[in-house]
Chain A
Amino acid sequence: MAVPSLSKAERAYIQASLQASPPLRADGRSLLDFRTVLLETGVAPLANGSAKLNIGKAPQEGGGGTEVIAATKLEVEDVETGDGVDGGRLVCTVTCSPSAYPHLSTNALDELQYDLTILLHQTLSHPTLHPNNLGILPHKKSWLLSLDLVILADAGNVVDALFMAARAALWDTKVPRTRPLQYQSRKAGDALKNADAMEVEGLPEITSAFDTRDMARAAADFELPDYWDEGEVLEGRDRWPVCVTLNLLPPSHFLDATLLEEASTPIRLLLAYSFPHKSQPNLQAMRFIGSGEVVLTQLKALNADGEKYARSLFDSLETKLRDEDIRRNVKARDKFAVR
């Protein structure tokens, strides 16, 4: 990613210390340690879901670290006119703030944005992850869920940060409740219960011209039953994947690389795992970045390791997200009550 100029000597030095026994890292972490991850949800009040994530912020040193903001916005799309897709769709966009990559030219920045957008979009909009409450009216209206991510600062390991922020924002997303409106003609019987004379005369029973089931079922529009309510969470929000980047420096690998460490790593393996509730973990995406080579036989072991790391990352993220929900609702309300 962002590759600051690094001399061969520096690179060799970093590689050597990572491969030393015990391995040494500049900030004193062990190979599999993450830096501190800070997460806050609900940062953008006008979005339907949002999160701000920081990896490696050093409060004593006045900031720093990789910083990502993610926000989702729901829009109504018309399926009939061809804008929308029946059942809704998800579109991811990654924007890199130029201040995060001051050394990149505009074109290079665009390319980087594009690469990251493709990675996120392909992974997250995969049908296995699609939440089933993005439809409004079958064959008529659906939600477009736009997920926008902005990289504000890059201090290494930006892909993991993006995936975590995306997961947090999607977790936080609430879909406004809608109620389909339809016109259903009632049966002639209850409409004309006073019209006894007609039946007596032996005329055929009067039915409405519109009493064909299929037509009546077709809802034409929808309404918002409770406009104060934020809505319900996305279906299957525990499925959203987390990504771990394995920085491969044979024979070992390490996690959460800083910028310098990234620059010294010949090849990196991205693994995005989803941990659906009560079922087997799924590998949702796998990418290699870098010019190095990996032997196929290693891959299985790497995958197994990756799954282990992803699981622990997933668990701590889950705990944090649930904490955030409570902080923002129950605790805030309690505070209001005792004020």
Chain B
Amino acid sequence: MVDITIRKRPRTEAVLTQRKFFKKTARGKVIKVLRERYLRDDVGCGIDGCSVCHDLRDFSLPSSGSSAHAQYPNGHFVLPDTNVFLAQMDLMESDLFNPPIILLQTVMEEVRHRSLPLYNRLKALIRAEDKRIWVFYNEYRSETAVIREEGESPNDRNDRGIRMATAWYKTHISLARPPVRGQPSRPSPTVVLLSDDVANRQKAEKEGLVSISVRKYVEALQDTSKLLDLLSAPGSDEVEPTRVASARQALYPDYLPMSTLGAGVKSGQLHQGHFNANQYNYLEGNVPVAAFDKPILLIGRENMNRAVQGDVVAVEVFSESEWKAPADEVVEQETTLRNDDADESEEENDDEEAIAERKVLQAERARREASVRQPTGRVVGIIKRNWRSYVCHIDSTSLTSSNTTSLSQQTVFATPVSRLLPRIRLRTRQAPALLGQKILVTIDRWDSTSRYPEGHFVRALGKVESKEAEQESLLLEFDIPYRPFGKAILDCLPPEGDHWVVPPKTADNPVWRDREDLRDLIICSIDPPGCQDIDDALHARTLPNGNIEAGVHIADVSHFVHPDNPMDSEAAARGTTVYLVDKRIDMLPALLGTNLCSLRPHVERLAFSVIWELTPEADIVNVRFTKSVIASKSAFTYEEAQIRKDDPKLDDDLTKSIRLLNSLAQKLKANRMAAGALNLASPEVKIQLDSSESSDPIDVEQKELRETNSLVEEFMLLANISVARKIEEAFPQTAVLRRHLPPPRSNFEKLQDILQKRKGLTLDVSSSRALADSLDKCLDPNEPAFNTLVRIMATRCMLSAEYFCSGSVARDTFGHYGLASSIYTHFTSPIRRYADVLVHRQLSAAIGYSSLHATLHSKSHVERVLDVVNRRHRMAQMAGRASVEFYVGLALKSRGKGKATTEEAFVIRTFRNGLAVYVSKLGIEGLVTFKRETQFDPDAYTMTVPAASPEAVGTTIAVFDKVTVEIEVEKDKNTQRGRVKMTLRSPVDSSTL
């Protein structure tokens, strides 16, 4: 029996036993919190074989510490200070850094107080198997507990507690090794206080403790060069004695303190929003905020003030007289700043680059009256950094050329793949080895004295343009979770695995409970070629009363994915399946996605069916929802289905059913169009791969659309709308729906203006119906592709559709603008979209098949899940597009065999010094820049290229003009970044301009 000692003490000891503190709540109240503290004498030291705390087991630290460090030959333990975890987490997480670590409770609490993400990483670190970390609860051990002195700051108190614990360990280790007579006394291991706080180190040394800075500690380890790269860049406030503190001029204004920002935002004097960099002009960015229709424009480095894409910033808006229009010029970082030296760029303040930048800004001011102004301001502080790891290339010119083979440390620039990010300066010893590789870089800080952010190297992804490196970098860039599914997740799958089948139909089988047997129905699926995850199937038949019964059968994923288990959480976190050109990153394990839930032909599968009774005019008479068992009769591709339908010789049931479905679909579509649904366009191209193994692209072609595509689409829309109505009725507060808000009219202003001025066409955007009609009228008899182009541009003016929880927004904003439906949801692809899984659960509860899991009754939970799903959805789309773009590049290369391709293109935007063009055949957008001066008329959307001889009239190019461009893929010499380069061939040749 363990003795239980009741350690109740009188109130007179309150000052020791109670820790009081105040807390300010979100609603502005101040609460006093009281914590009782019980001090004990049996908190273990964690050192294996310790003779003093011998009655405690599983001590994880080796008894003689680690002898891997040259300075401590007798072995040592590392006791890190809080600042080590706050600044050097990458080092602590490295596989190469594994001395025995004593982690104090004080340190953990301080980390938690300072940064929650770092605290979570720290907790993961403690659990990691390859780390030897012992958490010592020093605040609860009577010898090491400290109480705050009068007038002592919390920081000093914690530092004192850390030193006290270090001192205790020192005596404890010597106590635990009493000298044995007759044996030479073994020297005891040292406890090393690891701290970057100079004051704390000095105090520790005064008290006779061993302490060392992180850098010095790492320098004496093996693998120094790799570990040193992981150190975050030293801060400007560091007072390392070896470093010469040079007084540098601040390039950026300082940020206001966090508390002031909060007050400013609250009082409406500042605006909070996400910073978006401009991809055409690195000296410009904008911040969309609620207070203005248009985003706040930030012009120039000082006003952007070290904000990085995605950061949440606080912006001060200038008075209206200083508002400006966004730039109409392409400004590329590489060209303007190509001579910048990584080592010393911050010192030269008036160098030519700065002058060049200023020129750009001045040019802009000169014509700022010209076009529409928008709110302009400057960043006064960062509310939240959203820095992550970025995929970069090392800029070869930033290497000091003399030492391309040496291993000495040098400062280099890393250029992120994304055009939205600034160059990152990092110090590395492996620079030569990293040239021509894709690498992952983390930003550590951006001081006001430094033009560029400073970061450190995390890991190399592989050679540039190797498939693996490009693929992984794409996934990292768009923050897509791509790790294989873990064991806990795979354990949620049915134990039968591949051999799972629908059990035989018996009265008492739970699988068959309330399930309709639709195995005899003539059901088929129609999908793109090569589709493995078939999540929908269809049927139609004529009823005796002349009406038609049509059914949509969706894979019953919710039968396998139960709420709140590891598989469900993982699927919720992934949100969607991501399709890249040559890879699919599944939301659910492949067993479900491509087998058990895939409605393959000739096998029995569980399904969730929506069955309508429709009049021959496609009006709904009745709809019902049921869980079912189906056996698909055939899996068609769009093409096969089309051929079968059109083949007059065939007259079997299956063909008839397809024809029936097709005729209904045409009527459904007509009804939808009459209601004002938009026929939008987005550039969709198909990459033809050589073979499934090599995945070398051969060519790019535009996707073909057939009647059968529209057949499937119409029925899916119908199913989604019917289901949306049902679940909204059953769960008005928490139904998972999808909406598409009508775009604000101002989004179309520019397009309307261009159309009016260039083509004399008007675009009526008063309603989706009016827009659809006027889009139909946007025709250029000479140019059939013009209509598609306008549709693409109109699509870009719209907002994106989003999932939402029905209780969270007003009832009148439920509508789907693009589909012209008053309510909509996603029900038909539960294998690849998580929202559909939620909808399945809600529908299943709505028809009384199962009860609704508690989490789906909670509005806040549904909102949280949908936020993630919305974000993942967006990221997945962007990743897919980026993947296509990469392959288009490869295809161009292989097609042209090194030579350039010439294609027709449309001008979609004009700049002061260039054109943005769209190559419809390849679905890519590109930029043509001119080095020579051009005449630019921003109001008429034209630019005039002066002719070579002064007498001749220059060539004018306007938006919507058809031009011919030469496309080649060129590798940036410095960064190895492959990019599409376009040069104008006609009406003028821009290669010399």
Flag the segment in A19-27, A54-62, A222-230, A304-312 that touches B. A222-230
Report the Cα distance A49→B274, complex, angstroms.
45
Report the Cα distance A219→B28, complex, angstroms.
14
Contacts known (A181-B260, A183-B261); A328 close to B316, Cβ less than 8 A: no
In the bound complex, do residue B153 and residue A221 qualify as a contact, i.e. CB atoms below 8 Å apart?
no
In the bound complex, do residue A224 and residue B30 qualify as a contact, i.e. CB atoms below 8 Å apart?
yes
CB distance from B778 to the nearest CB of A (A): 42
Within 8 Å by CB of B22, from A179, A224, A333, lies A224
**A residues in contact with B19, CB < 8 Å:** 228
CB distance from B147 to the nearest CB of A (A): 6
CB distance from B164 to the nearest CB of A (A): 12
In the bound complex, do residue A183 and residue B154 qualify as a contact, i.e. CB atoms below 8 Å apart?
no
Flag the segment in B7-15, B54-62, B798-806 that touches A. B7-15
CB of A89 closer than 8 Å to a CB of B: no
CB-CB contacts of A189-225 with B at 8 A, as 1s and 0s?
0111011010000000011111000010011110110
Flag the segment in B251-259, B420-428, B492-500 that touches A. B251-259
Closest to B300 in A: A195
Report the Cα distance A43→B15, complex, angstroms.
12
In the bound complex, do residue A336 and residue B11 qualify as a contact, i.e. CB atoms below 8 Å apart?
no
CB-CB contacts of A39-61 with B at 8 A, as 1s and 0s?
00011011010000000000000
Closest to A216 in B: B269
Contacts known (A75-B29, A333-B147); A226 close to B153, Cβ less than 8 A: yes
In the bound complex, do residue A328 and residue B15 qualify as a contact, i.e. CB atoms below 8 Å apart?
yes
Closest to B267 in A: A220
In the bound complex, do residue B267 and residue A218 qualify as a contact, i.e. CB atoms below 8 Å apart?
yes
Closest to A184 in B: B260
Within 8 Å by CB of B262, from A46, A76, A208, A221, lies A221
In the bound complex, do residue A46 and residue B32 qualify as a contact, i.e. CB atoms below 8 Å apart?
yes
CB distance from A184 to the nearest CB of B (A): 7
CB of B318 closer than 8 Å to a CB of A: yes
Q: How large is the interface on A (under 10, 10 to 19, 20 to 34, 35 or more residues)?
A: 35 or more
In the bound complex, do residue B30 and residue A176 qualify as a contact, i.e. CB atoms below 8 Å apart?
yes
Report the Cα distance A209→B29, complex, angstroms.
32
Name, among A194, A206, A335, the residue most crowded by chain B CB atoms within 10 Å (CB to CB). A194
CB of B809 closer than 8 Å to a CB of A: no
CB of A74 closer than 8 Å to a CB of B: yes
CB of B203 closer than 8 Å to a CB of A: no
Within 8 Å by CB of B263, from A46, A78, A183, A228, lies A183
Q: Find residues 1-30 in chain B having any chain A CB closer than 8 Å to their own CB.
A: 11-16, 18-24, 28-30
CB of B378 closer than 8 Å to a CB of A: yes
CB of B602 closer than 8 Å to a CB of A: no
In the bound complex, do residue B16 and residue A48 qualify as a contact, i.e. CB atoms below 8 Å apart?
no
**A residues in contact with B157, CB < 8 Å:** 228
CB of B746 closer than 8 Å to a CB of A: no
**A residues in contact with B717, CB < 8 Å:** none
CB-CB contacts of B134-152 with A at 8 A, as 1s and 0s?
0000000010000111100
Contacts known (A76-B29, A332-B16); A208 close to B318, Cβ less than 8 A: yes
In the bound complex, do residue A206 and residue B32 qualify as a contact, i.e. CB atoms below 8 Å apart?
no
In the bound complex, do residue A223 and residue B30 qualify as a contact, i.e. CB atoms below 8 Å apart?
no
CB distance from A164 to the nearest CB of B (A): 21
Report the Cα distance A138→B16, complex, angstroms.
37
CB distance from A191 to the nearest CB of B (A): 5
Closest to B154 in A: A228
In the bound complex, do residue A333 and residue B253 qualify as a contact, i.e. CB atoms below 8 Å apart?
no
B-side interface mostly: mixed
Report the Cα distance A98→B550, complex, angstroms.
77
CB of B699 closer than 8 Å to a CB of A: no
Within 8 Å by CB of A223, from B13, B24, B253, B322, lies B24
CB of A130 closer than 8 Å to a CB of B: no
CB of B362 closer than 8 Å to a CB of A: yes
Closest to B14 in A: A45
CB distance from B6 to the nearest CB of A (A): 19
Report the Cα distance A43→B147, complex, angstroms.
20
In the bound complex, do residue A42 and residue B29 qualify as a contact, i.e. CB atoms below 8 Å apart?
no
Name, among A190, A195, A209, the residue most crowded by chain B CB atoms within 10 Å (CB to CB). A209
Report the Cα distance A338→B251, complex, angstroms.
54
Report the Cα distance A318→B226, complex, angstroms.
67
CB distance from A256 to the nearest CB of B (A): 28
In the bound complex, do residue A182 and residue B263 qualify as a contact, i.e. CB atoms below 8 Å apart?
yes
In the bound complex, do residue A181 and residue B263 qualify as a contact, i.e. CB atoms below 8 Å apart?
yes
Report the Cα distance A335→B9, complex, angstroms.
14
In the bound complex, do residue A191 and residue B253 qualify as a contact, i.e. CB atoms below 8 Å apart?
yes
Contacts known (A45-B14, A46-B32); A226 close to B259, Cβ less than 8 A: no
Contacts known (A183-B270, A328-B15); A208 close to B316, Cβ less than 8 A: yes
CB of A239 closer than 8 Å to a CB of B: no
In the bound complex, do residue B267 and residue A183 qualify as a contact, i.e. CB atoms below 8 Å apart?
yes
Contacts known (A176-B22, A220-B267); A185 close to B316, Cβ less than 8 A: yes
Report the Cα distance A209→B271, complex, angstroms.
13
In the bound complex, do residue A215 and residue B253 qualify as a contact, i.e. CB atoms below 8 Å apart?
no
**A residues in contact with B361, CB < 8 Å:** 197
Closest to B13 in A: A332
In the bound complex, do residue A336 and residue B15 qualify as a contact, i.e. CB atoms below 8 Å apart?
yes
In the bound complex, do residue B262 and residue A195 qualify as a contact, i.e. CB atoms below 8 Å apart?
no
CB distance from A225 to the nearest CB of B (A): 9
Q: Find residues 630-664 in chain B having any chain A CB closer than 8 Å to their own CB.
A: none
Within 8 Å by CB of A206, from B18, B148, B263, B322, lies B322
Closest to A191 in B: B253
**B residues in contact with A229, CB < 8 Å:** 22
Report the Cα distance A76→B26, complex, angstroms.
12
Report the Cα distance A229→B157, complex, angstroms.
12
CB distance from A52 to the nearest CB of B (A): 11
**A residues in contact with B16, CB < 8 Å:** 332, 336
CB-CB contacts of B61-90 with A at 8 A, as 1s and 0s?
000000000000000000000000000000
CB of B317 closer than 8 Å to a CB of A: yes
In the bound complex, do residue B358 and residue A197 qualify as a contact, i.e. CB atoms below 8 Å apart?
yes
CB of B488 closer than 8 Å to a CB of A: no
CB-CB contacts of B799-820 with A at 8 A, as 1s and 0s?
0000000000000000000000
In the bound complex, do residue B302 and residue A220 qualify as a contact, i.e. CB atoms below 8 Å apart?
no
In the bound complex, do residue A183 and residue B30 qualify as a contact, i.e. CB atoms below 8 Å apart?
no
CB distance from B309 to the nearest CB of A (A): 23
Within 8 Å by CB of A219, from B251, B263, B319, B358, lies B263
CB of B295 closer than 8 Å to a CB of A: no
Report the Cα distance A230→B319, complex, angstroms.
44
CB distance from B35 to the nearest CB of A (A): 10
CB of B34 closer than 8 Å to a CB of A: yes
CB-CB contacts of B354-387 with A at 8 A, as 1s and 0s?
0000100110000000000000001010000000
CB distance from A146 to the nearest CB of B (A): 13
CB of A167 closer than 8 Å to a CB of B: no
Within 8 Å by CB of A210, from B29, B251, B316, lies B316
Report the Cα distance A195→B252, complex, angstroms.
11
Closest to A226 in B: B154
**B residues in contact with A76, CB < 8 Å:** 28-30
CB of B481 closer than 8 Å to a CB of A: no
Closest to A195 in B: B302
In the bound complex, do residue B28 and residue A48 qualify as a contact, i.e. CB atoms below 8 Å apart?
no
CB distance from A16 to the nearest CB of B (A): 46
In the bound complex, do residue B15 and residue A332 qualify as a contact, i.e. CB atoms below 8 Å apart?
yes
In the bound complex, do residue B20 and residue A181 qualify as a contact, i.e. CB atoms below 8 Å apart?
no
In the bound complex, do residue A197 and residue B362 qualify as a contact, i.e. CB atoms below 8 Å apart?
yes
Residues of A within 8 A of B (CB): 42-43, 45-46, 48, 74-76, 78, 141, 176, 179, 181-186, 190-192, 194-195, 197, 206-210, 215, 218-221, 223-224, 226-231, 327-329, 332-333, 335-336, 339
9 example contacts (A-B, Cβ-Cβ < 8 A) are as follows A48-B32, A185-B316, A185-B380, A191-B302, A209-B317, A221-B262, A228-B19, A228-B21, A332-B14
Q: Which 7 A-B pairs have the closest CB atoms?
A: A183-B264, A181-B263, A209-B319, A220-B263, A220-B267, A332-B15, A181-B259
Residues of B within 8 A of A (CB): 11-16, 18-24, 28-30, 32, 34, 142, 147-150, 153-154, 157, 251, 253, 256, 259-267, 269-270, 302, 316-320, 322, 358, 361-362, 378, 380
Q: A183-B260, A183-B270, A336-B147 given. 5 additional CB < 8 A pairs?
A: A46-B34, A141-B28, A183-B265, A227-B24, A333-B149
